[in-house]
């Protein structure tokens, strides 16, 4: 109250006087704002308009045996080189919305708004940030899912478990659908394991959609300018996508490097424990990264730091990620 009075006095009566001559108050006029801005970043790919939307990040202690073929000391050394906190794993999530000029398309959907409360707002922000970006869920024509892990399909539902994109066609890789629909696969999953959690989550989510999904193959143009690209290993039907318009192409890599993706860009031979087949996943990773490095193709990476757009460079048997400079205009 005192500060506001002083402010009025200054602006009203003595505006030519140096403020520094007056006694300063003990507390700031402006309280700290105390919250982050919504994570939104827009760019064009030829005639397409892409909006990258942060879902937030999962932060957790480094799990035991996080990497099948690397120990905790090696992982901590790699985290230190990347200026990331040791003995912690941070997994950022960034979904994208593509306006192709004829369709409004979402690729992957975040952990879902039900995670927002549980994580105290750290993750599950996709729907809220989508709204902040001026995009209504009802306007989305197509949702393309890269693979059926819960941090990619969770946002198919709204917080009341209704379909979050009520007017959209939902497209799922056919090999993913076959795998996660097979009760025989469920019977072989350990109780409480991550695959089992994902299996049950998929049942819940896709039942709640109350509509048939479209199953799509790899290596096909799903709609003009969006092509699927086989990238198996992380899951059996894990699929990346290529956006293409005019001379521009962008790889939407999904979990080609998974979870704390930057760690695996720099250590591509490491097999994260939830890769269903680490060897095949590594082979997909190297094949596609070698291609984008040679072609200097931009990469949009689901688990790379927001806005998760940049170039992959090959350095010996490893890779590095060079974020695209933030563009303040389109």
Q: Which of residues 33-72 bind its own copies (CB under 8 A)?
A: 33-37, 39-42, 49, 51, 54-57
Please state the closest distance from residue 136 (CB atom) to its own copies, in A: 8
What does R_g of the chain's alpha carbons equal in angstroms?
23
- Rule CB under 8 A: is residue 1 a binding residue for its own copies? no
Question: How many residues bind to its own copies according to rule CB under 8 A?
Answer: 80
- Rule CB under 8 A: is residue 29 a binding residue for its own copies? yes
Q: Write the DSSP string, 179-199.
A: HHT-HHHHHTSPTT-HHHHHH
Which of 75, 78, 79, 104 is close enough to bind its own copies by CB under 8 A? Answer: 104
Please state the closest distance from residue 4 (CB atom) to its own copies, in A: 10
- Rule CB under 8 A: is residue 76 a binding residue for its own copies? no
Q: Of 226, 216, 117, nearest to 176 (Cα)?
A: 216
Site for its own copies in 169-188 (CB under 8 A): 169
Q: For residue 185, what are the CA distances in angstroms to 44, 49, 150, 252, 275?
A: 41, 39, 17, 28, 16
**Do the beta carbons of residue 155 and residue 164 sit within 8 Å?**
yes
Please state the closest distance from residue 32 (CB atom) to its own copies, in A: 4
Which of 13, 30, 294, 317 is close enough to bind its own copies by CB under 8 A? Answer: 30
Q: Of 107, 89, 208, nearest to 159 (Cα)?
A: 208
Helices (H), 156-277: 174-180, 183-187, 194-209, 261-266
Which of 177, 180, 206, 306 is close enough to bind its own copies by CB under 8 A? Answer: 306
**Do the beta carbons of residue 313 and residue 319 sit within 8 Å?**
yes
Question: Candidates 66-74, 118-126, 188-196, 229-237 — which segment interacts with its own copies by CB under 8 A?
Answer: 118-126
Site for its own copies in 275-304 (CB under 8 A): 296
- Rule CB under 8 A: is residue 27 a binding residue for its own copies? yes
* CB nearer to its own copies: pick between 69 and 327: 327
Which of 5, 18, 191, 247 is close enough to bind its own copies by CB under 8 A? Answer: 18
Site for its own copies in 120-179 (CB under 8 A): 120-123, 125, 133-136, 138-139, 141, 166-169
**Do the beta carbons of residue 303 and residue 102 sit within 8 Å?**
no
**Do the beta carbons of residue 318 and residue 266 sit within 8 Å?**
yes
């Amino acid at each position: 109250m005192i500060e506001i009075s002083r402010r009025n006095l200054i602006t009203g009566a003595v505006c030519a006087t140096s403020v520094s001559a007056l006694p300063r108050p003990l507390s700031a006029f402006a309280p700290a704002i105390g919250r982050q801005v919504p994570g939104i970043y827009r760019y064009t790919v030829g005639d397409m308009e892409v909006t990258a939307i942060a879902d937030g990040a999962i932060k957790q202690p480094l799990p035991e045996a996080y990497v099948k073929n690397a120990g905790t000391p090696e992982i901590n050394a790699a985290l230190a080189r990347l200026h990331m906190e040791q003995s912690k794993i941070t997994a950022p999530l960034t979904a994208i919305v593509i306006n192709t000029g004829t369709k409004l398309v979402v690729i992957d959907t975040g952990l879902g708004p039900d995670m927002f409360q549980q994580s105290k707002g750290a993750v599950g922000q996709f729907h809220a940030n989508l709204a902040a970006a001026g995009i209504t869920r009802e306007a989305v024509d197509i949702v393309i899912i890269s693979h059926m892990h819960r941090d990619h399909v969770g946002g198919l539902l709204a917080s009341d478990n209704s379909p979050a994109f009520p007017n959209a066609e939902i497209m799922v890789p056919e090999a993913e659908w076959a795998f996660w629909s097979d009760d025989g696969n469920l019977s072989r999953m350990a109780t409480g394991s991550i695959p089992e959690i994902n299996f049950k989550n998929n049942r819940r989510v896709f039942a709640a959609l109350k509509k048939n999904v479209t199953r799509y193959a790899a290596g096909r143009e799903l709609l003009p300018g969006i092509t699927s690209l086989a990238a198996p290993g992380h899951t059996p039907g894990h699929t990346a996508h290529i956006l293409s318009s005019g001379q521009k192409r962008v790889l939407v890599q999904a979990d080609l490097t998974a979870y704390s993706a930057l760690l695996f860009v720099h250590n591509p031979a490491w097999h994260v424990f939830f890769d269903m087949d680490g060897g095949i996943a590594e082979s997909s990773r190297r094949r596609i990264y070698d291609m984008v490095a040679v072609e200097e193709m931009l990469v949009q990476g689901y688990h790379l730091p927001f806005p998760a757009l940049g170039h992959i460079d090959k350095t010996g048997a490893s890779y590095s990620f060079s974020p695209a400079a933030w563009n303040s205009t389109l």
